């Protein structure tokens, strides 16, 4: 073992084992993500349309930036009761799935 890793028990490499892509199509991708025996399904949909103000109902003044040519919607579904930290974790995973899309002239919700 590398000397810098000795005594470090909090490295969770097994987390990636909880990712299972269940479908990949041209316009849709779905993943089951499991952590601490709780599971959610993350679905990423390419809408093939520009973003509109209706895509961001929580923004008081609508879009405060120019809409991109393409809009991606990410959905997170879960059947079990999740505490706030578990919800936050699964939403962070969903955000990471779509982070690279913002670089490709897309808006994401």
Nearest alpha carbon to residue 28 among 40, 46, 42: 46
| Spatial separation of the C-alpha atoms in residues 87 and 107, rounded to whole Å | 22
Q: What are phi and psi of 92, to 5 degrees?
A: -65, -40
Is the pLDDT score of 35 beyond 50? yes
CA dihedral 49, 50, 54, 59 (to 10 degrees): 140
- Nearest partner of 42 among 74, 89, 84, 20, judged by Cα: 74
For the question of whether the overall pTM of this predicted structure is more than 0.85, the answer is no
Confidence of residue 20 (pLDDT cuts 50, 70, 90): confident
Question: 90 with 76: CB under 8 angstroms?
Answer: yes
**CA pair distance 28, 47, nearest whole angstrom:** 9
Instruction: Give the pLDDT confidence of 75-109 residue by residue, as tens digits.
Output: 888 888 888 888 888 888 888 877 766 666 777 77
Across the chain, mean pLDDT equals 76
**Residue 14 Cα distances to 11, 80, 83, 100, angstroms:** 9, 22, 21, 23
Q: How confident is the model at residue 4 (pLDDT cuts 50, 70, 90)?
A: very low
Q: Where are the domains of the chain?
A: 16-108
């Amino acid at each position: 073992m590398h000397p810098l890793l000795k005594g470090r028990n909090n490295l969770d490499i097994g987390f990636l084992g909880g990712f299972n892509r269940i479908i990949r199509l041209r316009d849709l991708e779905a993943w089951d993500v499991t952590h601490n025996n709780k599971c959610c399904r993350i679905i990423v949909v390419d809408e093939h349309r520009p973003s509109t103000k209706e895509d961001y109902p929580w923004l008081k003044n609508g879009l405060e930036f120019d809409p991109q040519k393409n809009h991606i919607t990410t959905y997170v579904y879960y059947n079990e009761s999740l505490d706030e930290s578990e919800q936050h974790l699964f939403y962070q995973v969903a955000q990471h799935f779509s982070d690279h899309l913002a670089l490709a002239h897309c808006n994401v919700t």
